[in-house]
Amino acid sequence: MLVKMEDRLDPDAVIEEFEALSRDAGRVQKETLKKILEENGETEYLLKWGLDGKTDPDSFKSCVPLVTHEDFEPYIQRIAHGENSPILTGKPITTISLSSGTSQGKPKFVPFNDELLENTMQIYKTSFSFRNREYPIGNGKALQFIYGSRQFKTKGGLAAGTATTNVYSDEKFKTTMRAMQTSCSSPDEVIFSTNCEESLYCHLLCGLIFRDQVQVVSSTFAHGIVHAFRTFEGKWEDLVSDIRRGELCSQIKTPSLRTAMSKVLNPDPGLANMIYNKCLGLSNWYGVIQELFPNTKYIYGIMTGSMEPYLKKLRHYAGNLPLLSADYGASEGWIGANVNPKLPPEFATFAVLPNIGYFEFIPLKEDSNVERQPIGLTEVKIGKEYEIVVTNFAGLYRYRLGDVVKVKGFHNSTPELQFICRGNLLLTINIDKNTEKDLQLAVEAAARLLEEEKVEVVDFTSGIDSSTEPAHYVIYWEISGEASDELLKECCNCLDKSFVDAGYASSRKLSTIGALELRILKKGTFHKILDHFVELGAAVSQFKTPRCVGTKNHTVLQILRNNVVKNYFSSAF
């Protein structure tokens, strides 16, 4: 049950409730599963597996199989097409969430309902309460780089949009933000504009207008904040001019944005001069966030997993401001809240809320001949890695999320998880197995070589080129400036040597995997990829650069191939 909330959130009461839940996580998990099965026991999906009204974990696990999204897709499609019978949930599903689509090349459809919205608000309030204990904020605003995607109707008339859009468009989101004293500095027209570039410009402008009130700078993902301030580097003089004149620049064409911004924009030469002088006084934009928004307490967003490569640039923009990693979840639902906000993002952990779903954990293979049986939330072991299985209130049962996590400790009796990687994101040709984390570490090692020429990796991805014999890894880099051929060849060799997986190293030595190839991309290539996913229905704030582009991801592969300006082959082996 959520803590009652009037005008302001009572963080102490929220923390007290979380402590009670986490002290008896095993019992809460059983009750949560029982509630899910009682509410949905008469659905077509659960009847199919012969539970016959049983709601205990053992019966559930023995009757209902482990599944992936592919198994649920036919059921979700029927719901999206308007079938009214109880297919996955007892209560009708009225909204569909779209995943970002960056992993598989197209968005997945996932059921969304009021229970998932309530879970979202519970997660937000829980992590805020722990954050506020360490970094208290007064009544101010948040410069939130958040964007709604285009919502549309499915064939059956259900509202469909990204998970973030479904949350941002609900009145409960605004009520919760007000209660947490962090209302968005931008009006709704900016958040829900269909023109993302214009929207970002207006977010920046609103932030500058309310600069003294801004206490938090955030986005769904760290990439969103880095992208915003990279854009600011090129647009700051236009923004200053708008503030000086009290009029939005002519580049912003959308009528709803122009109308909304006219209500907050007044001529303010004094503010314009201050911002102008502060920008001129910065050294390579170091500490720009701290300088422009002096009352900011911290930077907030998801900073783990595929967001870690952006942390160096984010720290550059943030100056001395702390970076706090937001909570752990997916389009399918939430897992845990960050209740240790002082931990650096690289070490962030997430305490599982035992009442927002039923969770199982598949131990990662140590012996490939041993069948891995999922275990319960309170049975996991510190230091071990697991794949997460989710059962939620929106019709997903024993759903393999595909995420790999490590148990770092316990908060009372609920585990604190560290996100490791997406389990299905592998570079592999034969016996080699490299994860997203392995790729990230290799790129970080090679990118350090660029620092001597004051060049940085703006973004990166990878793939396998099977058109050669033998096949080989391809790493794509977009870099911030010019680097010599000699240095880029050195980077290419470093990348090749930095994949320390034994299967990869031995395959390279035996020439059963070809020389790694580094392809340098035109500036703006990753922006084209972002635009592609936005056209598919993704929200800018939900975008994650795909770290491994397979052959099924035709359009992204084509964008990458069409924008290569140089390429290098490793001579490391």
pLDDT digits (tens, 9 = 90+) for 306-333: 788 889 899 999 999 999 999 888 878 8
For residue 173, pLDDT beyond 90: no
Identify the pLDDT of residue 310: 87
**Per-residue confidence at 11, pLDDT binned at 50, 70, 90?**
confident
Identify the pLDDT of residue 541: 65
Residue of 243 and 119 predicted with greater confidence: 243
Structure tokens at 238: 């236009």
Rounded CA separation 301/226 (Å): 11
For residue 538, pLDDT beyond 70: no
Rounded CA separation 415/392 (Å): 18
Q: Are strands 159-162 and 95-98 parallel, antiparallel or unpaired?
A: parallel
| Helical (H) or strand (E) element with 527 | helix 525-535
Rounded CA separation 149/160 (Å): 10
Residue of 505 and 151 predicted with greater confidence: 505
For residue 434, pLDDT beyond 70: yes
Kindly report, residue by residue over 283-303, the tens digit of the pLDDT: 889 999 999 999 999 999 989
Give the predicted TM-score (pTM) of the model.
0.79
Work out the angle at residue 196's Cα, subtended by the Cα atoms of residues 193 and 200, and round it to the nearest 5 degrees: 100
What sign has the CA pseudo-torsion 284, 226, 239, 278? negative
Q: Following CA atoms 299, 302, 307, 312 in sequence, which dihedral angle do they give, to the nearest 10 degrees?
A: 20
Kindly report, residue by residue over 94-153, the tens digit of the pLDDT: 888 777 555 555 677 888 888 888 888 888 889 989 998 999 888 888 898 988 766 777
Angle, nearest 10°, between helix axes 11-23 and 25-40?
90
**Of the ranges 3-12, 190-199, 456-465, the best mean pLDDT one:** 456-465
Structure tokens at 367: 């012996």
Kindly report, residue by residue over 451-461, the tens digit of the pLDDT: 888 899 999 99
For the chain, give the percent of residues with pLDDT over 90.
47
Number of H helices, E strands in the chain: 20, 23
CA 144: distance to chain centroid? 15
Strands lying side by side in the sheet with 414-422? 328-330, 333-337, 350-352, 414-422, 399-411, 385-391, 358-363, 375-376
| Residue 440 buriedness (CB in 10 A; 0-12 / 13-18 / 19+) | middle
Average pLDDT across the chain, whole number:
87
Structure tokens at 187: 């009006």
**Of the ranges 197-201, 303-307, 491-495, the best mean pLDDT one:** 491-495
Identify the pLDDT of residue 6: 45
For residue 463, pLDDT beyond 70: yes
Three-class SS state of 397: coil
For residue 68, pLDDT beyond 70: yes
